[in-house]
Chain A
Amino acid sequence: MVSLSKADAAGKRTIAGTHVFDGDAARAGYALNAMCFSFNDAIHRAEFAADPEAYMDRFALTAAQRQTVRDKDVLGMIAAGGNVYYLAKLAGIFGLNVQDLGALQTGMGVDDFKSALLSKSTTERSIAA
């Protein structure tokens, strides 16, 4: 059975190390996520790369969101309402993949993060006769 989880002051269920992207986060993070969504287009990625501050102006990021982008502070971006599916597009501009993001968020080096995943290595295969 699932352990009974804790709740925060607002009565929301909390899961350790986990940020559920709910309506509150979606509202708070709208500008940041909208900017990241625009990066589906290579032209927009180039515009951001050329002048990040101007590009963040265009999407009216909050001051806190701007600072997390400048600092490549992934946990900060999530705290500011960023959703990882959109943030992954920004990460691509920075040359970071999901394993780099994992390392940044857990405070591990990338090699250690990959090693931690490999430490769970297992393969199970079944084919019906």
Chain B
Amino acid sequence: MSEVIGGIFTSHVPGIGKAIANGQKQDPYWKPFFDGFAPVHAFLERERPDVAVVFYNDHGLNFFLDKMPTFAIGAAPEYRHEDEGWGITGFKPFAGHPELSWHIIGQVVHDEFDPVTCQSMLVDHAVAVPFELCWPDAAAWPVKLVPICINTVQHPLPSPKRCFALGRSVGRALESWTGGEKIVVLGTGGLSHQLDGERAGWINVDYDKFCLRNIVPDPEALLQHDVLDIVELAGTQGVEILNWLAARGALRGSVKELAHNYHVPISNTAAATLLARNDAVAHA
């Protein structure tokens, strides 16, 4: 049987990738963020997962408004990052896991979700930056990727409750996967930030700490807010917490926080990283 070892939740802003490329990890501005990854690196070194299932949002690399899926599941043998408009390229390619992708698709459709399935798909900084953060010195990524994209661009967005339920369904699929791999789940984006409008620069430390406090022990606490509540609380891009909720939903065992790091600001964003272990529940 496969084993879902835990979850890694992290901000993914493009500026992180730029800081890595410019060798600024230990600059005073960036150090408090990057230092938060030490427990993640130790965990990954210890556990050595084979597969990463990543809940993220596309920012206009693979999907445009001509066809905007609410949920899209990658089922490709390989994924690439490409230029998102700023000339930043060079991220390593990502090996896919089509067999597991189709197993997940089968489960979520059985559970009455209606995802778009993608046998060809580009992944943007919301996948590439977290990979760089998790495996900073890898010559090639040590995990296969199953990307699951949630629309956080064009409203109406899926509700927090729906995203959490999607995660639950993906978690069921992972538990019934007989491939024998170790699987880690990632949720990327957030926390509070707003790039657009007169309120640009919005940060809400209280709401972020509410999320950090509850995402592991009581994720349902985050479901009391609807999407527009979250926009008001966390900013227009703070709705990326939907990716965290879906990832948390996929951890269905006994879940324990191992570490978290919260640092304001990086770029326009309240940055956070959280590591959680998932142990299978024992059944009599």
Contact = CB atoms under 8 A, between A and B. Distances in A.
Interface string B34-48: 011001000000000
Nearest to A116: B201
Contact of A23 (B35, B66, B155, B201): B155
B186 interface: no
A48 B65 CA distance: 21
Nearest to B66: A34
Contact of A18 (B153, B194, B268): B194
Interface stretch (B78-86, B132-140, B160-168, B172-180): B78-86
A117 B15 CA distance: 15
Interface string B240-266: 000000000000000011111111110
A85 B231 contact: no
A34 B203 CA distance: 29
Given A40-B60, A102-B200, A105-B197, A127 B154 contact: no
Contact of A20 (B155, B198, B258): B155
A118 B265 contact: yes
B86 A17 contact: no
Q: Chain A: interface residue count, which band?
A: 35 or more
Contacts of A99: 267-268
Q: Chain B: interface residue count, which band?
A: 35 or more
Given A26-B154, A41-B83, A15 B60 contact: no
Contact of B257 (A13, A34, A42, A128): A128
Contacts, number: 169
Interface string B42-70: 00000000000000000111001110000
A98 B231 contact: no
Interface stretch (A54-62, A64-72, A86-94): A86-94
A40 B87 CA distance: 8
The binding surface of chain B is classed by DSSP as loop
Nearest to A44: B85
A18 B236 contact: yes
B195 A125 contact: no
B32 A123 contact: yes
B264 A84 contact: no
Interface in A76-129: 78, 83-89, 92, 97-99, 101-102, 105-106, 113, 116-118, 120-128
B82 A120 contact: no
Contacts of B261: 123-126
A22 interface: yes
B83 A18 contact: no
Contacts of A126: 257, 259-261
Nearest to B271: A123
A19 B197 contact: yes
B259 to A, nearest CB: 4
Contact of A122 (B195, B205, B212): B205
Interface in B184-228: 194-203, 205, 209, 212, 225, 228
Nearest to A81: B65
A18 B203 CA distance: 13
A105 B196 contact: yes
A123 B231 contact: no
A92 B265 contact: no
A112 to B, nearest CB: 10
A13 B86 contact: no
A9 interface: no
18 contacts: A2-B232, A2-B233, A5-B232, A17-B200, A19-B236, A21-B154, A22-B156, A37-B60, A40-B83, A40-B84, A41-B83, A86-B60, A97-B15, A98-B268, A101-B195, A101-B196, A113-B200, A128-B256
